[in-house]
Amino acid sequence: MSDTNNKNKDHIENDPSYKGLQVNSGISQPPSINPRIAERLKKNKRKKYTVDDYVKGILDGDRGILSQAITLIESSKFEHQKVAQEIIEKCLPYSGKSVRIGITGVPGAGKSTFIEAFGKHVTGQGGKLAVLAIDPSSERSKGSILGDKTRMEELSVDLNAYIRPSPSAGSLGGVARKTRESLILCEAAGFDTILIETVGVGQSETAVHSMVDFFLLIKIAGAGDELQGIKRGIMEMADLITINKADGNNIHKAQLARVQFENALHLFPQSPSGWSPKVLTCSAIEKTGIDEIWNAILEYCSHTQQNAYFEQRRSEQAKYWMYETINEQLKDGFYQKQSIKDQIPDFENKVLNDEMSSFVAAFKLLEAYFQDIKNKE
Amino acid sequence: MSDTNNKNKDHIENDPSYKGLQVNSGISQPPSINPRIAERLKKNKRKKYTVDDYVKGILDGDRGILSQAITLIESSKFEHQKVAQEIIEKCLPYSGKSVRIGITGVPGAGKSTFIEAFGKHVTGQGGKLAVLAIDPSSERSKGSILGDKTRMEELSVDLNAYIRPSPSAGSLGGVARKTRESLILCEAAGFDTILIETVGVGQSETAVHSMVDFFLLIKIAGAGDELQGIKRGIMEMADLITINKADGNNIHKAQLARVQFENALHLFPQSPSGWSPKVLTCSAIEKTGIDEIWNAILEYCSHTQQNAYFEQRRSEQAKYWMYETINEQLKDGFYQKQSIKDQIPDFENKVLNDEMSSFVAAFKLLEAYFQDIKNKE
pLDDT in tens, B100-120: 999 998 777 888 899 999 999
CB-based contact A318 B351, cutoff 8 Å: yes
Q: Same domain for B56 and B190? A: no
> Is 90 exceeded by the pLDDT of residue B16?
no
Distance of CA B53 to the CA centre of its chain: 28
pLDDT in tens, B213-230: 999 999 888 645 444 445
CB-based contact B325 A354, cutoff 8 Å: no
pLDDT value for A146 = 52
The total domain count for chain B is 3
Q: Is B76 part of a structural domain of the chain?
A: yes
Mean pLDDT of B238-253: 92
Mean pLDDT of B236-251: 92
Mutate to test the interface with B, among A322, A337, A377 (most CBs of B within 10 A): A322
Distance of CA B121 to the CA centre of its chain: 22
pLDDT value for B41 = 67
CB-based contact B351 A260, cutoff 8 Å: no
Interface size A-B, in CB pairs within 8 Å, comes to 179
- Residue A124 or B261, more confident: A124
Say whether the ipTM exceeds 0.85.
no
Q: Same domain for B259 and B139? A: yes
Please report which confidence band the pLDDT of residue B134 belongs to, taking 50, 70 and 90 as the band edges: confident
CB-based contact B268 A95, cutoff 8 Å: no
Q: Same domain for B168 and B187? A: yes
Shortest distance between the Cα of B265 and any Cα of chain A, in A, equals 8
Q: Same domain for B44 and B180? A: no
Q: Is B273 part of a structural domain of the chain?
A: yes
Q: Which residues are registered as beta bridge partners of B275? A: none
Query: Which residues does chain A have within 8 Å of residue B330's beta carbon, measured at their own beta carbons?
Result: 330-331, 334, 366
CB-based contact B319 A351, cutoff 8 Å: yes
Shortest distance between the Cα of B216 and any Cα of chain A, in A, equals 17
CB-based contact A269 B358, cutoff 8 Å: no
Query: Which residues does chain B have within 8 Å of residue A315's beta carbon, measured at their own beta carbons?
Result: 352
Q: Is B312 part of a structural domain of the chain?
A: yes
Mean pLDDT of B205-214: 91
Please say whether the dihedral angle defined by the alpha carbons of residues A120, A121, A124 and A128, taken in this order, is positive or negative. Answer: negative
Least CB-CB distance to B365: which of A267, A326, A360? A326
- Residue B242 or B266, more confident: B242
Q: How far apart are CA A314 and CA A98, in angstroms?
A: 11
CATH value at residue A79: 1.20.5.170
Whether residue B45 contacts residue B51, with contact meaning beta carbons closer than 8 Å, is answered with no
* Radius of gyration of chain A measured on its C-alpha atoms: 23
Q: Same domain for A200 and A214? A: yes
A237: nearest CA partner in chain B: B232
B182: nearest CA partner in chain A: A357
Please report which confidence band the pLDDT of residue B86 belongs to, taking 50, 70 and 90 as the band edges: very high
CB-based contact B359 A224, cutoff 8 Å: no
CB-based contact A319 B184, cutoff 8 Å: no
Q: Is B26 part of a structural domain of the chain?
A: no
Q: How far apart are CA A369 and CA A344, in angstroms?
A: 11
Shortest distance between the Cα of A177 and any Cα of chain B, in A, equals 8
CB-based contact B227 A269, cutoff 8 Å: yes
Instruction: Examine the fold and report which residue of B75, B93, B111 is the final residue of a domain before the chain moves on.
Output: B93
A162 dihedral zone (left: phi>0; alpha: psi -120 to 50; beta): beta
Query: Which residues does chain A have within 8 Å of residue B329's beta carbon, measured at their own beta carbons?
Result: 362-363, 366
Query: Which residues does chain A have within 8 Å of residue B232's beta carbon, measured at their own beta carbons?
Result: 233, 236, 268-269
Long-range CB pairs of A55-61, under 8 A, 24+ apart, other chains included: A55/A87, A55/A90, A55/A91, A55/A188, A58/A87, A58/A91, A58/A185, A58/A188, A58/A189, A59/A91, A59/A94, A59/A188, A59/A189, A61/A189, A61/A190
SS3 of chain B: the string is: CHHHHHHHHHHHHHCCCCCCCCCCCCCCCCCCCCHHHHHHHHHCCCCCCCHHHHHHHHHCCCHHHHHHHHHHHHCCCHHHHHHHHHHHHHHHHHCCCCEEEEEEECCCCCHHHHHHHHHHHHHHCCCCEEEEECCCCCCHHHHCHHHCHHHHHHHHCCCCEEECCCCCCCCHHHHHHHHHHHHHHHHHCCCCEEEEEEECCCCHHHHHHCCCCEEEEEEECCCCHHHCCCCCCHHHHCCEEEEECCCHHHHHHHHHHHHHHHHHHHCCCCCCCCCCCEEEECECCCCECHHHHHHHHHHHHHHHHHCCHHHHHHHHHHHHHHHHHHHHHHHHHHHCCHHHHHHHHHHHHHHHCCCCCHHHHHHHHHHHHHHHHHHCC
- Residue A2 or B286, more confident: B286
A331: nearest CA partner in chain B: B327
pLDDT value for A15 = 52
Query: Which residues does chain A have within 8 Å of residue B81's beta carbon, measured at their own beta carbons?
Result: none
Query: Which residues does chain A have within 8 Å of residue B264's beta carbon, measured at their own beta carbons?
Result: 263-264, 267
Q: How far apart are CA A135 and CA A167, in angstroms?
A: 8
What size, in residues, is chain B? 377
Q: Is A148 part of a structural domain of the chain?
A: yes
B349: nearest CA partner in chain A: A319
Q: Is B17 part of a structural domain of the chain?
A: no
pLDDT in tens, B302-341: 999 999 999 999 999 999 999 998 998 899 899 989 999 9
Q: Same domain for B223 and B287? A: yes
Q: Same domain for B209 and B230? A: yes
pLDDT in tens, chain A (377 residues): 444 444 444 444 455 555 555 555 556 666 666 777 777 766 655 568 999 999 999 999 999 999 999 999 998 888 998 999 999 999 999 999 999 999 998 777 888 899 999 999 999 999 999 999 887 664 444 444 455 555 688 898 999 999 998 777 667 778 888 999 999 999 999 999 999 998 755 678 888 999 999 999 998 886 454 444 455 577 878 999 999 999 999 999 999 889 888 887 777 777 889 999 999 999 999 999 999 999 999 999 999 999 999 999 999 999 999 999 999 889 989 998 999 999 999 999 999 988 888 989 999 999 999 998 888 74
CB-based contact A330 B331, cutoff 8 Å: yes
Q: Is B326 part of a structural domain of the chain?
A: no
CB-based contact B180 A358, cutoff 8 Å: yes
Whether residue A196 contacts residue A212, with contact meaning beta carbons closer than 8 Å, is answered with yes
Q: Same domain for A82 and A102? A: no
Query: Which residues does chain B have within 8 Å of residue A334's beta carbon, measured at their own beta carbons?
Result: 326, 330
> Is 50 exceeded by the pLDDT of residue B5?
no
Whether residue A226 contacts residue A248, with contact meaning beta carbons closer than 8 Å, is answered with no
Structural domain span for residue A277: 95-314
Q: How far apart are CA B17 and CA B12, in angstroms?
A: 9
B178: nearest CA partner in chain A: A359
Query: Which residues does chain B have within 8 Å of residue A263's beta carbon, measured at their own beta carbons?
Result: 260, 263-264
Q: Which residues are registered as beta bridge partners of A100? A: A194
- Please name the residues in contact with A195: beta carbons below 8 A apart, sequence gap of 6 or more: A101, A102, A103, A115, A118, A119, A129, A130, A131, A132
pLDDT value for B31 = 67
Half-sphere exposure at residue B338, Cβ-oriented, CA atoms within 13 angstroms:
0
Q: Same domain for A119 and A210? A: yes
Q: Same domain for A116 and A79? A: no
Least CB-CB distance to B334: which of A330, A357, A374? A330
Q: How far apart are CA A261 and CA A152, in angstroms?
A: 29
Q: Is B15 part of a structural domain of the chain?
A: no
> Is 50 exceeded by the pLDDT of residue B2?
no
Least CB-CB distance to A334: which of B322, B330, B347? B330
CATH value at residue B152: 3.40.50.300
CB-based contact A373 B377, cutoff 8 Å: no
A248 dihedral zone (left: phi>0; alpha: psi -120 to 50; beta): left
pLDDT value for A5 = 45
SS3 A110: coil
Ramachandran angles phi, psi of B101, nearest 5° = -120, 125
Least CB-CB distance to A348: which of B95, B322, B370? B322
CB-based contact B95 A354, cutoff 8 Å: yes
- Please name the residues in contact with B352: beta carbons below 8 A apart, sequence gap of 6 or more: A315, A318, A319
Q: Same domain for B199 and B264? A: yes
Max intra-chain CA distance, chain B: 70
Q: How far apart are CA A134 and CA A308, in angstroms?
A: 28
Instruction: Examine the fold and report which residue of B295, B320, B345 is the final residue of a domain before the chain moves on.
Output: B320
Q: How far apart are CA A42 and CA A63, in angstroms?
A: 15
A221: nearest CA partner in chain B: B267
- Please name the residues in contact with B157: beta carbons below 8 A apart, sequence gap of 6 or more: none
Instruction: Examine the fold and report which residue of A78, A93, A108 is the final residue of a domain before the chain moves on.
Output: A93
Give the CA-trace dihedral at B364, B366, B369, B370, to 10 degrees: -110
CATH value at residue B75: 1.20.5
CB-based contact A363 B266, cutoff 8 Å: no
Q: Same domain for A131 and A277? A: yes
Whether residue A309 contacts residue B345, with contact meaning beta carbons closer than 8 Å, is answered with no
Least CB-CB distance to A267: which of B227, B358, B366? B227
pLDDT value for A3 = 44
Q: Which range is most confident: A18-27, A184-193, B41-50, B270-279?
A: A184-193
B185: nearest CA partner in chain A: A357
Q: Is A306 exposed, middle or buried (CB count within 10 Å of its CB: 0-12, 13-18, 19+)?
A: exposed
pLDDT value for B232 = 56
